[in-house]
Amino acid sequence: MVNRKAAHEVLVERRVLFVVTGFLTLGCLLWIIAMSTDYWGIVDGGTGVYIPSSDHFFLRSYTGIWRTCRTAYENSSKEVITDLCTTHRIFTKAKVPHKSFIDYQRTVASFSIISLMVILMGLVFSGYTFTHTRYMYKRLAACSHLVAAGCVLIVIEVATSLFHYAAHHMPDRHPPKTNWHYGYSFMLAWVTFIAEATATVAFGICSRKRKKDKAPDDEYAIDEEPTIIGR
């Protein structure tokens, strides 16, 4: 026997979850782009800020999870030097003057990888719910997206603290009279967080049980019943 009202509700839920899963896929791709690009934070020196220690004029720099690149020009020749990139030494054992900064970088790098793994796992669980209607799979997907959203938020918050720390305590990275702002990689990370948070809510709401009269048909109702494993 078919319950048309329940069948319509299930159809709407599947369409909503399909759209949300598409948004999740986009969020995953944007997270990969954010991880692999160097535009989380940008320092702008305008027409040039003189750095006596190197006899260069600092123009701009941009920082990502794995490296920092800067553009400057020499005081003598006025030749512009672009893309002077240095990889972050996040796992160095040598003594460094700004240990807190290294800790920030290490946390951002570690949790960005963890976030990607959990995001991919959540995508697999989300796709699984379209072939298996049991409510527990939707709840498992919702929990995965909740953890992923938390990990992404940790990366964003620690990256924010990192840039503020550098602006106040590291003049070699943020020379005086320069301005800094967040880049597009940072914005992409926020889109990923919104996608994961949206999926958490959507899969959580759609994971309610549908037994007997609330199920679209008898087969659906049987799938919602608890499984008893015999000896």
In a domain, residue 84? The reply is no
Asked if 222 and 210 touch (Cβ cutoff 8 Å), the reply is no
pLDDT at residue 182 is higher than 70: yes
Rounded to the nearest angstrom, the gap between the alpha carbon of residue 120 and the centroid of all alpha carbons in its chain is 12
For residue 126, the model assigns a pLDDT of 92
In a domain, residue 58? The reply is no
Confidence of residue 230 (pLDDT cuts 50, 70, 90): very low
Q: pLDDT, tens digit, for every residue of 23-77? A: 999 999 999 999 999 999 999 988 888 877 777 888 889 999 999 998 888 766 6
Residue from 143, 211, 191, 203 nearest 30 by CA? 191
In a domain, residue 57? The reply is no
In a domain, residue 163? The reply is yes
Q: How many domains, the chain?
A: 1
Place of tokens 């990192």: 162
In a domain, residue 78? The reply is no
Confidence of residue 220 (pLDDT cuts 50, 70, 90): very low
In a domain, residue 168? The reply is yes
Rounded to the nearest angstrom, the gap between the alpha carbon of residue 26 and the centroid of all alpha carbons in its chain is 11
pTM for the full model?
A: 0.84
Q: Go through the chain and tell me how many residues it has.
A: 231
Confidence of residue 135 (pLDDT cuts 50, 70, 90): confident
Alpha-carbon span 199 to 143, nearest angstrom: 10
> Residue 23's domain is classified under what CATH number?
1.20.140.150
Structural domain that includes position 128: 4-42+98-224
In a domain, residue 214? The reply is yes
